[in-house]
Amino acid sequence: MSAGIGCRDLRVHAGGRELLSVPELHVSSGRTLAVLGPNGAGKSTLLRALGLLSSHRVSGEILLDGRPATRSLMRHALVAVLQRPILRRGTVAANVISGLRFRGVSRREAQARAWPWIEALGLASLAGRDARSLSIGEAQRVSITRALAVGPKVLLLDEPFSGLDSTTRADLLADLRAALTGQPTATILVTHDRQEALALAEDTALLIKGRIRQHGSTAEVLDHPGDADTARLLGFTNLLPPALTGRTHTLVARPEHTRLVLGPSDDSAEVIGTLRRTVALGVATRVDVDTAAGPLTCLHPGDLLATELPPAGSSVRVRIRHARPLTEMSLATPS
């Protein structure tokens, strides 16, 4: 294996139950892997096991730069950023340099090494402020800046954006992506949000029930689910079996690519069903339709007037504007 972090035959057990089984995984230096999965999938368990931080029974090999990792090696190579930021008393600048100070770097050198990161992550104007007065978004920005200032070989991100509002999250994701570009750091982000994976990671692994079900380039994985479970995880919640469409494979589609047909049409590919309910969501209108093969969800942009929609219980037609076939996909590690 090349430089970076990885594992072979990794298994994690607790209470007589296997929580995680990963035959092989590797994140190269300079690349970011997003581990995407639902709640309870084992994402944080994987992160802790890779960092030699787990309190559970772990078997298999953890590899750092292709060699078996030890706690001592990992302690110097790795930095983790958690869901809730942990800050010390003092100023923002003092918090940013604290990681370097813990590693024995002099105060003067720590300040010199940390300042470019303070500027890159937009903290220059807050450097002299008391860290305890920061908002949650500002505090998380400090935590990430402190981690980057150390210059770690491995950066572990355990859902650090989950408590942020959408604007703060988008800004921090953009700044972090720019900061990581060109750095020799192997980064692993665990998240349940596919937009975070798309914004930050070159590669994505889908983790479901403690198993990696797909692994490849982020663009490929997010748009080509391999089975029904990964399809639902990626937002392809509409499953259309061959009996409904006449196609060879089951098709999957996201609600935003599914529309209720409101006017005349002679499209033979449309799906017939019964309108169950409509829900105005402000920026969109959700329409739920029951078909012979199960429910479909349509998402129309904007608010549809009640007069534009047939009443509940009516026979309706649904057009799938964009769908993907479900085919078994390779789980091979990307090159």
DSSP letters, 109-152, are HHHHHHHHHHHHTT-GGGTTSBGGG--HHHHHHHHHHHHHHT--
User: Per-residue pLDDT averaged across 4-15, rounded?
Assistant: 95
Instruction: Give Rg (Cα) of the chain.
Output: 24
Q: Is the pLDDT of residue 185 over 80?
A: yes
What is the three-class DSSP state of 283?
Answer: coil
Residue 209's contacts (CB-CB under 8 Å, 6 or more residues apart) are 41, 42
Condensed to tens digits (0 to 9), the pLDDT of residues 44-85 reads 999 999 999 999 999 999 999 999 999 999 999 999 998 888
The pLDDT score that the predictor gives to residue 328 is: 55
> 134: number of CA atoms within 13 Å, CB side?
27
52, 128 Cβ separation under 8 angstroms: no
- How confident is residue 333, by pLDDT bands cut at 50, 70 and 90? very low
- State both tokens at 36: 């995407």
Amino acid at site 74: M
Is a pLDDT exceeding 60 seen at residue 1? no
Q: Model confidence at 2, in pLDDT bands (50, 70, 90)? A: confident
Strand partners, 212: 207
What are the residues whose beta carbons fall under 8 Å from the beta carbon of 206, sequence distance 6 or more? Answer: 36, 37, 212, 213, 214, 215, 221, 230, 233, 234
The CA distance from 171 to 177, in Å, is 10
Count CB atoms within 10 A of the CB of residue 249: 14
Domains of the chain: 4-223 (3.40.50.300), 238-325 (2.40.50.140)
- pLDDT of 204 reads 98
pLDDT range class, residue 266, cuts 50, 70, 90: low
